[in-house]
Amino acid sequence: MKKILILSLMASLLSLSMTGCIAREVTQDIMTEIPETAPAETTTVLSDTAPETLRVSPLPQTIDINSLPEDCTLFASFEYADLNAEENTLSVKIYDYELFDMVDISMLTEGDTIVLSGEDMKINSIERNDMGLITINGGLEEGGTYLRTDDNTVYFEVGMSDMKTYRELGEIVLPLSPDMVYSVEEDYGEEPVLYSLEEFKNIPEERFSYHPHYTKIQVENGVNGCITKIEIRWVP
């Protein structure tokens, strides 16, 4: 009887041992067949939607000092020494002011750039008022500038006295027409007084100083022509 019990116990132990081995083999097979899963990759998308900045340049210059239109009116400056009374010629410096498209200026904001006299000015601050005046970077007092408009198409740079900022384009010597008219607005808003060429040539030296803010010359036939009128008007 003891012998039978011992044999039954041994058989049970053998059976349990084989079952454990099979379980281990099955588990190993399952683990081997399951592919390793790589950790999910994280992709960082950089935004490329940063706002674009503007760079506003003046409109193309319309005056070429070397190729003047047949008939034109120009802003000019000259001094007493520029007049050759014997040869009836006058050496004049020609000027103009830069114009900016109104739409371009209306879009300007902080971070943009405006080009003045060929130099970039980055806009750190910009203020607009109801009178058509734009203050950039605190105005001239703080190293900035002012822009103004007097119509609905263009802006131009102005100085401290709200006068246009003229820039020299070059110098040219032109003959004075024998019939030249010297037109002077003696007082602001009054009808101009007209003088002849000879009267113009006899103006005292101390009074002979002219600037583009109020001086215009009329030229016929361009660089090969002559000055037919010098006009003085007390307006910016």
Lowest mean pLDDT among 15-29, 69-83, 171-185: 15-29
Chain segment 173-204, per-residue pLDDT in tens: 999 999 999 999 988 778 999 999 999 999 99
Is 13 a residue whose pLDDT tops 50? Answer: no
Q: For residue 7, what pLDDT is reported? A: 42
Chain segment 118-166, per-residue pLDDT in tens: 999 999 999 999 888 999 999 999 999 999 998 879 999 999 888 999 9
Give me the chain's average pLDDT, please. Answer: 84
Sheet with 99-101: list strands edge to edge. Answer: 99-101, 154-158, 145-148, 133-136, 126-128
Model confidence pTM above 0.85: no
Domain ranges (residues) in the chain: 55-96+168-232, 99-158
Is 229 a residue whose pLDDT tops 50? Answer: yes
**What gap in Å lies between CA 57 and CA 99, rounded to an integer?**
9
- Count of other CB atoms within 10 angstroms of residue 105: 20
Which of 50, 73, 55, 52 lies closest to 63 in space, CA to CA?
A: 73
Q: For residue 175, what pLDDT is reported? A: 97
Is 231 a residue whose pLDDT tops 50? Answer: yes
Lowest mean pLDDT among 19-23, 78-82, 193-197: 19-23
Decide if 126 contacts 105 (C-beta within 8 A).
Answer: no
Mean pLDDT confidence for 218-235: 92
Structure confidence at residue 3 as a pLDDT band (50, 70, 90): very low
Decide if 81 contacts 140 (C-beta within 8 A).
Answer: no
- DSSP structural state of residue 122: E
Mean pLDDT confidence for 17-41: 47
Chain segment 48-66, per-residue pLDDT in tens: 555 689 999 999 988 998 8
Q: Are strands 226-232 and 167-184 parallel, antiparallel or unpaired?
A: parallel
Is 32 a residue whose pLDDT tops 80? Answer: no
Q: For residue 16, what pLDDT is reported? A: 43
